[in-house]
Structure 1
Amino acid sequence: MLPYTGASSGSITSALTPAMSLPVLRVLGQLDNSYIIAEGPDGLYLIDQHAAHERILFEKIGQQRSQRDMEVQGLLEPVTFEVSPRQEAILKSRYQDLAEFGFSIEPFGDRTFLIRALPALIHDKDWAGMLRELLDSLSRGDKSDWAEGVTITMACHGAVRAGQSLSEPEMRELVRQLEQCATPHTCPHGRPTMIHLSSSQLKKEFGRT
């Protein structure tokens, strides 16, 4: 995914909220099954649900890994996983590195591996596609570079998607967790998680100033 390069223009001048903690927000609803509409002490917040959940998961994964307390989901039946020759070489050299992120993987024949456990947040997602993407990222850069890349990839694949309908309790919980993030205003790729329209901006747009 390409990094965010700037806010789009529109009839309303949208200001990205400064890098500071979020106020307590009240969820009003969902727009286009992609954006959470919320009210704060100073206006309206339009939250990108995928980008916001990416930020939440990115910080959660990083914290669990640093504390060596990654949440793992064991599989009732181990699953076989086939890889390319290049991915096989990378995987054989990165068992321990991947174990730090919650993967339990064993060799199981020619270019085939047995998956016994996965990070809990992706066990019901497209983990096979994500694991292949992780193996490709492991082939680039040193450990400090790819470790962050692995965390970003896991957060992206584990996050709710744009176009996914969320219940009101789910929206409230997502916003609550975003409020607790250290860097709530951008996703791990650098794109904004929200647009804030202050009360003064809204008054100006409606000719009330």
Structure 2
Amino acid sequence: MLTVEADPARVEIRLSAGELICPDCAGLLCRWGWARSRVLRDATGGLMAVRPRRTRCVSCGVSHVLLPVFALVRRADMAEVIGAALAAKATGAGVRVIAERLGRPVETVRGWLRRFAARAETVRRFFTVLLVDAGVDPAPPGTARTVFADAVAAVVGAWWSMTSRWPAVGTVSPWLAACAVTGGILLAPAWPAKKINKSRP
């Protein structure tokens, strides 16, 4: 799985130009069909059909699905919707309040929060390292009330740090940036991410 920008036309242009590289061996990626179509829900409950491009590395032969930056692996809601739920939980909101605010089933929101909580310390460490590595003059966030809140603060802090080095990152939300650097697996069973996405969106 490799995270790319939201615009599929731009992804095709980058593929043709040889700008997308394999996250395993740094070889060039070429077109190799399409992955299964998905339907994602946005913040208003609107639906968006997505059919990710499938690619194959010309060097190692491994195939990779190019997941749009707004999508998380195995989730039906866009990353910013899930990120809003995580941020609300970090400030102390309860699951029912969050679910009502976002217009999502309580069990769906509870699943997001439980999955994130189960790996909160790993997420905190990953994004704190990214914050320090990416920043021009990094300042790690202070300790929050909970490990969950610490992890959310690290995600946001890493985003701020990346914007100091790459200002264009500031045009997207912290949750889209989190998708980009984890390859969309923020809430997937495959956590932790082994490597930062080499083909920045």
| TM-score computed with the length of structure 2 as normaliser | 0.30
RCO greater where, 1 or 2, for CA within 8 Å and sep 6 or more?
1
Q: Normalising by structure 1, what TM-score? A: 0.29
- Structure 1 or 2: larger helix share? 2
